[in-house]
Amino acid sequence: MEQYKRDFIDFMVESKVLKFGSFTLKSGRKSPFFMNAGGYVTGSQLSRLGEFYAHAIHDNFGDGFDILFGPAYKGIPLAVATVIAYGRLYGREIRYCSNRKEAKDHGADKGLLLGSEIRRGDRIVIIEDVTTSGKSIDETVPVILGQADNKDDVTIVGEMVSLDRMEKGQGTDKSALASITERYGFPARAIVTMEEVVGHLYRPGKDGVITDDIKKDLDAYYAEWGAGR
């Protein structure tokens, strides 16, 4: 596993964004872990987070994109932090773009978008915190394609999230990221997967972030909800 992934896993734990215990998800599932990207609240945290996203985006998509699109609301600070980090690390000026929940009907910046406009020929990477059902992407893709005169005028290069939960989506045996790729044809990737998280944090018979008891709970959870590849 790449060093930046190891560092990111430690960063999630240190920031208390990734927690282990007993949690009820929006889907109603009882999960032994929970990830909340809203826990990144300081300048230094957001600066580091942007760097981790930039590393992962560069590793997966290279420099072949023009805009980083962060869906409202959580995607807005992610997009801003990451375009800053991307320019610093890789010397490219990537534009950021986000949507409003409701279009603004006045002023020079009226419309649905914040940040950059989407132009003909633009190549776009979508950035989000985590996706469990893939529902958010079903709202985001029409927003992006709807800005062009023709849907073929812009290209969605891929999507990047922070954590792949690697569990079944609603009504499917595939993970949310695999389902997104199947539906839309672009790759959906994560900085790290839960398999990588467990591999990094669990040491059998030793006290740590993931204890033997937590590992048993994780194994039971994935026996029921783990997604097929």
Cα separation, 122 vs 45, whole angstroms: 30
Q: Which of 104, 110, 135, 216 is catalytic?
A: 104
- Active-site residue, 58 included: no
- Active-site residue, 55 included: no
Which amino acid belongs to residue 24? T
Q: Which of 26, 30, 74, 106 is catalytic?
A: 106
CA angle 160, 165, 171 (to 5 degrees): 100
Distances (CA, A) of 74 to 71, 100, 101, 200: 7, 12, 12, 27
Q: Are 1 and 196 in contact (CB under 8 A)?
A: yes
Cα separation, 113 vs 127, whole angstroms: 15
Burial 154-182 (b: 16+ CB within 10 A, else e): bbbbbbbbbbbbbbbbeeeebbbbbbbbe
Segment holding 75, helix H or strand E: helix 75-90
Cα separation, 167 vs 173, whole angstroms: 8
Cα separation, 137 vs 126, whole angstroms: 9
Residues identified as active-site: 104, 106
